[in-house]
Chain A
C-alpha cells in the first residue's frame, strides 16, 4: 500500500516522518516488512502520528508488526513519555488493563497427551469459568478484594493456589507496588468481586500446545522447553474490574485535558500531565487493575494444573507443570531507558505490545538473568504461538518492547460471513485441534483466517532484532469465551 509521505527505512521498518501531520513532536516508526505492509490500515498510521503529537514523548512513536487501529493509540503501540514534561493516557494502555499471557511447561509429551486432549479440554471447560455472564468460584469480600489489588498474584499464592517460584516467573513478580485501593470506584469493586478466576470472552483462551520447533537450543533449555513437550498458554486480563477502571478514568482524563489545556487530535488520547494528581490517581488505579489481572491468571493456572492431574490421574511430579513466564501486554510502567545516549526515567505505554528485556537487565529474576526475558506471543487457534527472548537491540530501539500477537485482518462481521455454513469446530478437529467455546459466534470470529499469520509478525521482530525466536508452539486443544 502506498501512502503519501511514508518512507521505508529498511526491510523491517517504515518511518512516519515528523511532517506527516501537523503537531508531531517526533517521528513514528512502524515495524513491518513488505508482506505486512500490505495489511497496514490508513487509520492506524494516522494513530501512530497522533501519538507523536503528545507532550513529552521520548524517542519515536512506535508500532509493532501486529499493528491495527485501536482507540486513540493503535494496538501494537509503544510510546514513552518524560516524567516531568510528559503525560500518561489510559488510551495508551487499553480497557483490558494488564491483558497478558502466561505459559506453563510440563514433563509430558505430545504422544502421551494427544489421546486425552478431548478430556482435558472438557475439564478446562468445566473448571475454568468462561464466557458472557460467567462467575468465578471465589467471591471476594471487600477486605480480600483490596488485598488482591495490593498484592496481585502474591495474594493468590498465599491462599495456596501456586508456588512462591511462580512469582519469580511473572513480570513485576505478579505485583506492581503503589496500587491504591482507595482510588477504585464502587462500581469497579462490584464488577470485580465475582470475576476473579474467570477467562472472559473474545480472544481470551486457555490452550494446550506442543513444542513443534526449537530455534535456539540454549535458550529453550534454560526455559525448560524441549521438542514435542506439552505446554499450556493462558490469555486473559483484569476482566470487568480493569474495564471499569479504564472507563472511570477516561472521564477523569477528559476533564484533565480541558484543565491543563492539552491539545489533542483525537478525544480517545485523553491524558493528564504525568506530574498531576489525575495522573497519579490513574497510575495507582491502573496498578491495582494490573495486580488483579496477575491474580486472575495465577488462579486460572491453578485450575489448569488440577485439570491435568485429574484427567491423567497423576500427581504434580508426573505432570511437572510449572510457570515459564507471565507477561503483560496492555500496561504503562515507569522504567529507565537510554534515549539519545542519555539515561532517562520514562513512563512507557505498551498497548498490545510486550516487554522484552535483554539478558542482564536488573528487573529480571536470577533464573533469566543470563538468557533474557521470556516473551510469550500467542497466535490464532489454528496455527502457532511463539516463545522469544528479549535482546539488547530491543532495549536500544523499542524501550525493551516487542509485538504481542497476530492482530486481526478480518472484522468480526467479515469472519462470521466467511464462516457461514461451515462448522469451524469440525475444521479444527480435522486439523487435530479440539476447540470449545461458550459464545455462539466466538469460533467464527476467532477462526484462523480472521488473523494475520503470527509467523509473519514474529519474523519481523526477530529480523529487526527486537527479540529473538526460541520456540514455536502448535495448538492441540483450546477453550474460548
Chain B
C-alpha cells in the first residue's frame, strides 16, 4: 500500500496519507512531513522526544500531532526518523527518535509554518485509514 502522496496546491503543499492502522497513518504523516523539510535519510538518530496530546477528534489530533512536530523542528531543528505511537480514544502518546537539522550539511527543502485544517480529512476506508492534510508554507 502506498504510504504518502504529495498534493499540488497553488502556493502551498499537501499530503495524502494512508496507513493500515491509525498509528501507522500518523507515523507516515510525520515521515512525509519531515521529508518535505529535508532528506530524512541524511539525519542521524541522536535524540529522543516524548509527545503527549489530546484533541476533540482524530482529525484534530492529526493536525495537532503535525503541529507539535513543526514546533520541534522550528524550535530545536529536530527531525524525527523513528516513531513509536499509541493512540487511545483521542489521546496520543509518542516517542520519537531523530536528530538535529544542520543548515550547513543537510538539504533545505520547505519551511513549513503549520499543518492546517483546510481540506482536512481522516477516515477509515475498508481495512485501512486515509487522510489529507494541507500545510502552510
Q: Footprint of B on A, CB under 8 Å?
A: 41, 68-69, 71-72, 75, 95-96, 131-134, 187, 190-191, 194-195, 200-202, 240, 243-244, 246-247, 250-251, 254, 267-268, 270, 408-414, 438-441, 481
Contact residues in A for B70 (Cβ distance below 8 Å):
243, 247
A-chain residues with CB within 8 Å of residue B35 when the two chains form the complex: none
Minimal beta-carbon separation of B41 from chain A (angstroms): 15
B10 and A133 contacting across the interface, CB-CB below 8 Å: no
Most buried by A among B10, B107, B118, B120: B10
* Nearest neighbor of A131 in chain B, beta-carbon distance: B108
CA distance A408 to B12 in the complex (A): 10
Judge if B15 is at the interface, Cβ distance under 8 Å. no
B94: interface (CB < 8 Å): no
A45 CB → nearest B CB, Å: 14
* Shortest distance between the CB of B87 and any CB in chain A (Å): 18
- New contact pairs (10) apart from A132-B108, A201-B111, A201-B137, CB-CB < 8 Å: A71-B116, A132-B101, A133-B108, A191-B71, A240-B74, A243-B114, A244-B71, A439-B110, A439-B111, A440-B109
Q: Does B47 belong to the interface (CB within 8 Å)?
A: no
> Given A131-B103, A268-B118, is A254 in contact with B60 using a C-beta cutoff of 8 Å?
yes
Chain B residues lying within 8 Å of A413, measured Cβ to Cβ, are 6, 8, 13
Q: Which residue of B lies closest to A129 (CB)?
A: B103
Are the C-beta atoms of A96 and B113 separated by less than 8 Å?
A: yes
Measured between C-beta atoms, what is the minimum distance from A159 to chain B in Å? 23
Complex CA–CA separation, A329 to B120 (angstroms): 26
Q: Does B126 sit within 8 A of A, measured CB to CB? A: no
- Do B11 and A68 touch across chains, with their CB atoms under 8 A apart? yes
- Residues of A within 8 Å of B136, CB to CB, are 71, 95, 243
Q: Does B46 count as interface, using CB distance less than 8 angstroms? A: no
* 9 pairs of residues in contact across A and B, judged by CB atoms under 8 Å: A68-B11, A71-B136, A132-B37, A132-B38, A132-B101, A133-B103, A191-B74, A410-B10, A412-B137
Is there contact, CB below 8 Å, between A440 and B71?
no
Contacts between chains A and B (CB distance < 8 A), count = 108
Q: Could you tell me the distance between the alpha carbons of A68 and B11 in the complex, rounded to whole angstroms?
A: 9
Taking a contact as CB atoms under 8 Å apart, the answer to whether A250 and B117 are in contact is yes
Contact indicator A133/B77 (Cβ below 8 Å): yes
Cβ-closest 9 pairs across A and B = A201-B111, A132-B108, A243-B113, A413-B8, A71-B118, A240-B74, A133-B103, A439-B108, A95-B113
B88 within 8 A of A: no
A411–B110 CB distance below 8 A? no
Residue contact B111 to A481, C-beta cutoff 8 Å: yes
Q: Contacts of B97 on A, CB cut-off 8 Å? A: none
Interface residues of B (CB under 8 A from A): 6, 8-13, 37-38, 56, 60, 64, 67, 70-71, 73-75, 77, 101-103, 106-111, 113-114, 116-118, 120, 134, 136-137
- Structural contact, B75 and A412, CB atoms closer than 8 A: no
Residues on B with beta carbons closer than 8 Å to the beta carbon of A268: 116-118
Q: Contact between A41 and B10 (Cβ–Cβ < 8 Å)?
A: yes
Take A68-B11, A133-B101 as given contacts and tell me if A440 and B107 are in contact as well, using a CB distance cutoff of 8 Å.
yes
CB-CB under 8 A from A481, the residues of chain B are: 111
Q: Name the A residues within 8 Å of B106 (CB-CB).
A: 133
Shortest CB-to-CB span from B118 to chain A, Å, is 4
Return the contact of A411 from the options B9, B71, B101 (Cβ within 8 A).
B9
Residues from chain A with Cβ under 8 Å of B134 in the complex:
71
Indicate if the CB atoms of B67 and A247 lie closer than 8 Å.
yes
Point out the residues of chain B lying under 8 angstroms from A71, CB to CB: 116-118, 134, 136
Residues of B within 8 A of A250 (CB): 117
Closest-CB distance, A247 to chain B (whole angstroms)? 5
Interchain CA distance A401-B74 in the complex, whole Å: 33
Contacts of A412 in B (CB 8 A): 8, 11-13, 137
Q: Nearest Cβ distance between residue A185 and chain B, in whole angstroms? A: 10
Q: Which of A68, A200, A244, A441 contacts B10 (CB 8 A)?
A: A68
Residues of A within 8 A of B11 (CB): 68-69, 75, 408, 411-412
CB of A39, distance to nearest CB on chain B (Å): 10
Q: Please indicate the chain B residues that have their CB under 8 angstroms from the CB of A438 in the complex.
A: 103, 108
Which chain B residue shows the least CB distance to A242?
B113
CA distance A134 to B71 in the complex (A): 14
Contacts of A75 in B (CB 8 A): 11
Q: Which residues of B contact A134 (CB under 8 A)?
A: 103
Residues of chain A within 8 A of B137, CB atoms compared: 201-202, 412
